[in-house]
Structure 1
Amino acid sequence: MDSHLLALETSSSRCGVAVLSVVQGRLKLCTAAHDAVGEHAERLLPMVDQLLLEAGIVRDQLSAIGFGQGPGGFTGLRVACGVAQGMAYALGLPVVPVGSLLAVAARDGMGSGADRGAIRLIVQDARMGEVYLAAYRPLITPGDSEETSAWEELQAPILLNAGDVAPWLDQHAGSWDGQPSVPIRLVGDALDAYPQLAALASCGTHKVLPGQPLRPDAEAVARLAYRAWQRGEAVPPEQAAPLYVRDKVAYTTLEREHGLGGNPKAQQVAAAGSGRSSPVSICTMTAEHLDEVLKIERAVQSFPWTRGNFSDALQAGYGAWVACRDNIVLGACLAMFAPDAAHLLLIAVSPDAQRQGVGAQLLQQCERAALEHSLKAVLLEVRPSNGKALDFYRHRGFERLGVRKNYYPTGRDEREDAWVLEKKLGHIEANHD
């Protein structure tokens, strides 16, 4: 049966379209691209129509639509995803999201000769001194053509400071196969943006091979999407979504005045000699985290939340995050977003991870979420007898707003008051890509 797949890739300044056709077992590719910032929305659909005309097919003949889902520029990611969804809805087609960094690995995997089996470490320019980074291992079987047909994801896309790539590699590469002699091929347009990355090829314990400053293109997205579609990995259009590694471009001036600094999603690699195996990361809490979260909650609270409490909060859509290091949960945070303020319900940090900044990172995540909901303040209750917690919040800009009488149980048929603390926040300004 003949098949035709349309692919869109707009995660960088390049606006690309590809049509991959398999007719009577023979593969044919038609591609078009335009390199210009800020023109994706106006150029993409006309390019699609022109390329379909050149390929000799009409929209109704398409079997699926693939798109580069990121990470990359916010506007570009929304354009490709939106066009793919709109066309798929109209034509009754499935959608195939393709990681844009994987597309870079796939481009490099086409005819790489002796380096074909190397792990691909992808570094794409994320601007502001940062890179999007991911790692992939080619899965090569005897009889494969020069083009690598399958990839194993060793590191999902993350955001790093460009200067942190070398220590990050030292910390993580050994876990990929335990053999430092296995070559790692460095690929991506960050090699042009940050020339210092080329020094990775001459330092460290791992064999790093210099690669090309490639960007994702529509042809690579088309080839990956076609294989994913054949494997049954397409999704309904309503489930297609861009991959945002950076949720915010930068903090506003008012946000910085209220204690937020740096890039919201940039994770700093631990300083040499700190004894930490990797940086702390903040991610959304899911039901899979609850066993570890409950252990921490029971270790630090006299009257801990129950599993049912946490499950209800997740189902209700509360803000819920965990702090992790090396896939180990170190702490948790819950917040409810009311019309006038964010209510911080809980911050709990494992006893052996306290006084390491974990609680502060969780609090900052709560404040960021409040600002993203256009809320003016964060409120919380704390026992007046909990001097450690009071000091923590006071040092981070919270002030006493009021008292709630007999709010907390004490376990002695008595109750303890709650002090209501508040921190004023600034407004979010519009983000521009």
Structure 2
Amino acid sequence: MTVHLLALETSGSVCGVALISRRADGKTTVSKQEHDATGEHAERLLPMVDDLLAARGLGRRDLSAVAFGQGPGGFTGLRVACGVAQGMGFALQIPVVPVGSLMAVAQRDADAHPDHSKAVRVVVQDARMGEVYLAAYVPDEEGGWSILQAPMLLAAADLPLWLAQVSEVPHGLPPSSTLRLVGDGVALCPEIDGVRLGQGWLVEQGPGLRPDAATVGKLGLAMFLQGKHVTPEHAAPLYVRDKVAFTTRERQQGQGGNPKAPGLGVALRPMGPGDVPAVAAIEASVQAFPWTAGNFSDGLKAGYGGWVAHQHGRILGFSMTLYAPDMAHLLVLAVAPDAQREGVGTALIRHCEKEALARGLSDLLLEVRPSNLQALAFYRRHGFERIGIRKDYYPAPEGTREDGWVMCKTLVSGS
């Protein structure tokens, strides 16, 4: 029996998918596809998956498992890969394999430089804002990796200090071990050339690599065959920072980041079938139990009012509304994580209200999880009030259910 594992990697600017097939005789075939375009992961990922499968004459139901680059990395990219992996896992009833993105960098370097097979890999990845993600891995006797330092966030200027300190701590490694620095964050720390290490350890600099889907797939296949996988509901990205961007004020004060050009807002247009992959990816990035692409396609076929908010060709958010004879029912509304608190949700909700009034409907109804405090605050700010409870309305972790709060707003023309 041939095992087919799909791998997704979107922790950086490159959107990558790979298909790793292992036959019963141990022969392995790898196919991959990549596209370098920051901010387009949600639109590109699923079409790339389908193209890759079609090129091998396979369908989604031929997959044995799906692996994804777990992070750390870009917040939105991690959510896209994780959300798509979860969605496919649920739909196809297959396991999900989270693979550490920094471990994938260590493996990628080891594959390219077998002459350095004994070196400890210290992966240093650019985390922006003058910081780096760092992890260290020791090769084990089975061809895998033991974790010397779990992924952490570190000021780039503190890398020499970390190297000096870690070399003074006994780790059971042979004397004069080599710390091989790899990753695109190494270039941010030119001071490492003069660092002094204890225990006779040496430092050598490797290439500025980033994780790729093929290596995530290689690690994911090994983990899958070892039973190291999870059910879709337990898959989650690995975040190691609680601040993913500078605020506008911080950017204006020179603390980094790129201020948005003034006067640029979002535009709205009707949702079409071609928007469904991007919409489903955004939904998966913000919901533990998201609508699927099939749900959105069915909604469009049923005549529901679907709208997308877009800017510079990228879809930032969406809404879908059912227009009943006596009221409008907002079924779903979501905004991409990196576009939240920028007025996208407000633009969508106001457009929903406008469309309802245009149809002579004076009430806009919706359901929301009481545990979703951010959504509750958003709807309350826009004039919605709780009018009831739907018992056990939403699925919740470990097979439980969560109530849904019914909220309603009476619309007034011109409001």
Whether TM-score is above 0.5 comes out as yes
Matched, 1:4 2:4: yes
> What corresponds to 1:108 in structure 2?
109
* 1:111 shift after superposition: 4.2
* 1:116 shift after superposition: 1.1
* 1:248 shift after superposition: 1.7
CA distance in 1, matches of 2:41, 2:121: 28
Counterpart of 1:215 in structure 2: which amino acid? R
> What corresponds to 1:213 in structure 2?
208
CA distance in 2, matches of 1:43, 1:191: 29
Report the 3-state secondary structure (helix = DSSP H, G, I; strand = E; otherwise coil) of the residue aligned with 2:127.
strand
> What corresponds to 2:97 in structure 1?
96
Q: Give the total of aligned pairs.
A: 253
* 1:170 shift after superposition: 1.1
> What corresponds to 1:48 in structure 2?
49
Per-residue CA deviation, residues 332-351 of structure 1 (Å, 9 max, x unaligned), is xxxxxxxxxxxxxxxxxxxx
Per-residue CA deviation, residues 219-263 of structure 1 (Å, 9 max, x unaligned), is 11001111111111110000000001112225647899xxxxx99
Report the 3-state secondary structure (helix = DSSP H, G, I; strand = E; otherwise coil) of the residue aligned with 2:89.
helix
Residues 49/177 of structure 1: CA separation in 2 closer, same or farther (3 Å cut): same
Report the 3-state secondary structure (helix = DSSP H, G, I; strand = E; otherwise coil) of the residue aligned with 1:114.
helix
Report the 3-state secondary structure (helix = DSSP H, G, I; strand = E; otherwise coil) of the residue aligned with 1:110.
helix
1:181 and 1:207 in contact (8 A); partners too: yes
CA distance in 1, matches of 2:137, 2:66: 24
Matched, 1:152 2:142: no
2:186 to 191, 195, 201: 191
Matched, 1:169 2:170: no
Report the 3-state secondary structure (helix = DSSP H, G, I; strand = E; otherwise coil) of the residue aligned with 2:210.
coil
Report the 3-state secondary structure (helix = DSSP H, G, I; strand = E; otherwise coil) of the residue aligned with 1:43.
helix
Residues 253/171 of structure 1: CA separation in 2 closer, same or farther (3 Å cut): same
Pick which of 48-57 and 97-106 moved more.
Answer: 48-57
1:180 and 1:207 in contact (8 A); partners too: no
Alignment of 1:344-383 (within 5 A): none
1:100 and 1:221 in contact (8 A); partners too: yes
> What corresponds to 2:238 in structure 1?
243
> What corresponds to 2:388 in structure 1?
none
Report the 3-state secondary structure (helix = DSSP H, G, I; strand = E; otherwise coil) of the residue aligned with 1:177.
coil
- Provide the TM-score with structure 2 as the length reference: 0.57
CA distance in 1, matches of 2:57, 2:194: 50
2:195 to 189, 198, 203: 203
2:70 and 2:236 in contact (8 A); partners too: yes
Residues 172/373 of structure 1: CA separation in 2 closer, same or farther (3 Å cut): farther
2:67 and 2:85 in contact (8 A); partners too: yes
CA distance in 1, matches of 2:225, 2:159: 35
Counterpart of 2:184 in structure 1: which amino acid? D
* 1:54 shift after superposition: 1.4
* 1:201 shift after superposition: 4.2
Per-residue CA deviation, residues 335-386 of structure 1 (Å, 9 max, x unaligned), is xxxxxxxxxxxxxxxxxxxxxxxxxxxxxxxxxxxx99999xxxxxxxxxxx
> What corresponds to 2:221 in structure 1?
226
Counterpart of 1:86 in structure 2: which amino acid? G
> What corresponds to 2:133 in structure 1?
132
1:174 and 1:180 in contact (8 A); partners too: no
CA distance in 1, matches of 2:175, 2:245: 37
RMSD of equivalent CA atoms: 2.5
Per-residue CA deviation, residues 96-146 of structure 1 (Å, 9 max, x unaligned), is 0000000000101104233111000000000011100000001135xxxxx
- Provide the TM-score with structure 1 as the length reference: 0.55
* 1:157 shift after superposition: 0.5
CA distance in 2, matches of 1:17, 1:254: 37
Residues 31/88 of structure 1: CA separation in 2 closer, same or farther (3 Å cut): same
Report the 3-state secondary structure (helix = DSSP H, G, I; strand = E; otherwise coil) of the residue aligned with 1:52.
helix
Matched, 1:79 2:80: yes
1:190 and 1:213 in contact (8 A); partners too: yes
Per-residue CA deviation, residues 181-232 of structure 1 (Å, 9 max, x unaligned), is 100100001134x1x34x4244312300110000000011001111111111
Residues 373/174 of structure 1: CA separation in 2 closer, same or farther (3 Å cut): farther
Report the 3-state secondary structure (helix = DSSP H, G, I; strand = E; otherwise coil) of the residue aligned with 1:34.
strand
Report the 3-state secondary structure (helix = DSSP H, G, I; strand = E; otherwise coil) of the residue aligned with 2:111.
coil
2:164 and 2:195 in contact (8 A); partners too: no
2:75 and 2:244 in contact (8 A); partners too: no
Residues 180/170 of structure 1: CA separation in 2 closer, same or farther (3 Å cut): farther
1:96 and 1:229 in contact (8 A); partners too: yes
Pick which of 58-67 and 111-120 moved more.
Answer: 111-120
> What corresponds to 1:16 in structure 2?
16
> What corresponds to 1:392 in structure 2?
none
CA distance in 2, matches of 1:180, 1:124: 27
Sequence identity percentage: 55
> What corresponds to 1:35 in structure 2?
36
Counterpart of 1:32 in structure 2: which amino acid? Q
